């Protein structure tokens, strides 16, 4: 950082590129949902939301831009976490409420970057934590929901402050950025991209974001299908995985690949598996609320002539090889080498600027940018789309959370990553209270045949369920 750049008052730290890539993206959201039995007091929940920023400062933060277009998380004590309350009418109503939040834009420079929804009935309710992905990942959001419920049960409970005053680059360290010939070649390529961008940059602001957010909301509708295993099924699957030398996540991923291949055809799938990096640092970062995710990608073909567990073991070996190398850091490291203002546009504006309608105040700017075939951001976005996986399985693992919170019981939780118009299958899984749940998230194009994407998700879910629980597996 240059000495001439002034640090905003209340600054927590500067955003890194892996956070900026989500900040302007209409699909850069994440949600975790907790189903609670018992009468959850709205006032107690509001009180918990007032106190919880004492533990997690990013909850009461906004973004500030400096004179060099650097972006900072800034703590603002005036910011309160909003809570929307709706009357509960059905078990799956929370999915529609998540969809409503997806359509609602953020104000990054005013904050907050998180919202809560209570789908309430006196007997059972769902608490939805819906966040901008720039400030957290699914693991952080699950920690947060646990902490909020703990405050509901004990409003005066002690809170340990966990300040995310580190950056991803600091956590990864110099080793992750390498120094071999391959890394030097990548650096040369990235530096060329940066030079091209700086010769003809396009800077974006909140009004530009609102234009693509409205275009996104007008074009797409969020949907979700559930796969749920009860305690007995979850226990049996866990035991079988242990006996066959694989993880539950590997078994789930193999089942998803088999189902996807059976339904869609094709010889192999490119599969992305995000990983929580908190536990992979030395020392571990603990339950800090921030975005701290790496990812590995594998090419996998489910071989029908082999048994399920043989396929799962093959996948497990491939994933372990990637994790034990530097592959879990590769995408994050490459993102950090790019010019931050290039990152701002290439995974959001490059994909959606052409959808902004003529009536929009930002139509001319967005259409001009979308039509610029010489723009390095647009050419990189095209390559980005071609490199996307066909399956993303992001599994938070088994969460050792308490079940009882005073007079309330945490029955289950759901993890809902955003859907994508470009990735066919995005699954969010977790285990809590002895049960495993998985959400199959998708976007439907408005005006298309209403049930086509939903029917496909149901088909993949049903086949995956069969592969996971079949006695012949």
Query: Encoding tokens for residue 168?
Result: 């991803």
Are 148 and 118 contacting, i.e. CB atoms less than 8 angstroms apart? no
Let me know if residue 51 belongs to a domain. yes
Cα separation, 137 vs 291, whole angstroms? 5
Residue ranges with strand state E in 144-302: 220-229, 269-276, 293-300
Q: What is the mean pLDDT of residues 277-293?
A: 85
Let me know if residue 65 belongs to a domain. yes
Between 88 and 183, residue with greater pLDDT: 88
Within its chain, how far is the Cα of 295 from the centroid? 12
Q: Which of 118, 147, 119, 117 is nearest to 131 (CA)?
A: 117
Cis status, amide bond into 152, omega within 30 of 0: no
The pLDDT > 70 percentage for the chain reads: 93
Q: What total number of domains does the chain contain?
A: 1
Cα separation, 211 vs 361, whole angstroms? 8
Are 453 and 216 contacting, i.e. CB atoms less than 8 angstroms apart? no
Helix (H) or strand (E) holding 430: strand 425-432
Let me know if residue 262 belongs to a domain. no
* CA dist list (Å): 348 to 110, 166, 324: 21, 26, 31
Q: What is the mean pLDDT of residues 434-443?
A: 97
What pLDDT, on a 0 to 100 scale, did the predictor assign at position 172?
64
Let me know if residue 73 belongs to a domain. yes
* DSSP bridge partners of 32: 129, 415
Sheet of 435-445: strand order equals 220-229, 435-445, 425-432, 391-398, 269-276, 293-300
- Per-residue confidence band for 184, with pLDDT thresholds at 50, 70 and 90: low
The tokens 């809570």 sit on which residue?
83
What pLDDT, on a 0 to 100 scale, did the predictor assign at position 183?
61
Let me know if residue 351 belongs to a domain. no
pLDDT tops 90 at residue 412: yes
pLDDT digits (tens, 9 = 90+) for 41-56: 999 999 999 999 999 9
Q: What is the mean pLDDT of residues 442-455?
A: 83
Let me know if residue 281 belongs to a domain. no
The tokens 């709205």 sit on which residue?
42
Let me know if residue 429 belongs to a domain. no
Structural domain of 83: 11-154
Q: What is the mean pLDDT of residues 271-297?
A: 87
CATH number, residue 97 = 3.30.559.10
Cα separation, 413 vs 238, whole angstroms? 18
Are 273 and 249 contacting, i.e. CB atoms less than 8 angstroms apart? yes
Query: Encoding tokens for residue 316?
Result: 């497990």
Let me know if residue 348 belongs to a domain. no
What pLDDT, on a 0 to 100 scale, did the predictor assign at position 173?
62
């Amino acid at each position: 950082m240059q000495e001439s750049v002034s640090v905003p008052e209340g600054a927590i730290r500067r955003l890194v590129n892996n956070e900026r890539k989500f900040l302007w993206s209409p699909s850069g959201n994440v949600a975790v949902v907790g189903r609670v039995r018992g009468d959850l007091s709205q006032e107690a929940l509001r009180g918990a939301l007032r106190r919880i920023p004492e533990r997690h400062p990013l909850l009461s933060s906004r973004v500030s831009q400096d004179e060099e277009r650097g972006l900072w998380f800034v703590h603002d004590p005036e910011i309160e976490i909003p809570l929307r309350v709706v009357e509960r009418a059905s078990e799956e109503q929370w999915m529609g409420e998540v969809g409503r939040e997806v359509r609602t834009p953020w104000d990054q420079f005013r904050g907050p970057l998180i919202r809560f929804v209570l789908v309430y009935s006196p007997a059972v309710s769902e608490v939805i934590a819906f966040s901008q992905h720039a400030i957290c990942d699914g693991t952080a959001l699950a920690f947060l929901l646990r902490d909020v419920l703990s405050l509901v049960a004990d409003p005066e409970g002690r809170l340990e402050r966990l300040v995310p005053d580190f950056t991803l680059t600091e956590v990864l360290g110099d080793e992750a950025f390498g120094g071999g010939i391959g890394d030097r070649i990548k650096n040369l390529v990235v530096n060329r991209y940066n030079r091209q961008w700086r010769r003809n940059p396009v800077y974006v602001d909140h009004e530009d974001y609102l234009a693509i957010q409205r275009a996104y909301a007008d074009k797409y509708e969020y949907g979700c299908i559930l796969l749920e295993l009860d305690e007995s099924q979850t226990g049996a699957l866990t035991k079988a995985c242990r006996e066959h030398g694989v993880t539950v996540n590997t078994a789930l991923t193999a089942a998803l690949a088999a189902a996807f291949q059976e339904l869609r055809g094709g010889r192999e799938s490119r599969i992305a598996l995000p990983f929580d990096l908190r536990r992979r640092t030395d020392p571990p970062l603990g339950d800090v609320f921030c975005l701290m995710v790496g990812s590995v990608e594998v090419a996998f073909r489910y071989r029908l002539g082999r048994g399920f567990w043989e396929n799962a073991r093959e996948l497990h070996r491939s994933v372990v090889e990637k994790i034990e190398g530097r592959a879990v850091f590769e995408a994050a490291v490459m993102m950090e080498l790019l010019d931050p203002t290039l990152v701002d546009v290439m995974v959001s504006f490059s994909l959606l600027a052409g959808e902004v309608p003529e009536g929009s105040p930002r139509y001319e700017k967005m259409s001009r940018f979308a039509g610029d075939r010489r723009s390095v951001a647009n050419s990189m976005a095209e390559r980005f789309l071609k490199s996307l996986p066909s399956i993303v399985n992001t599994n938070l693992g088994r969460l050792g959370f308490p079940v009882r919170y005073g007079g309330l019981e945490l029955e289950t939780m759901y993890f809902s990553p955003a859907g994508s118009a470009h990735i066919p299958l995005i699954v969010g899984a977790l285990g809590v209270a002895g049960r495993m749940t998985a959400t199959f998230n998708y976007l439907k194009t408005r005006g298309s045949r209403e049930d086509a994407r939903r029917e496909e998700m149901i088909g993949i879910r049903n086949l995956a369920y069969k592969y996971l629980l079949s006695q012949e597996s």
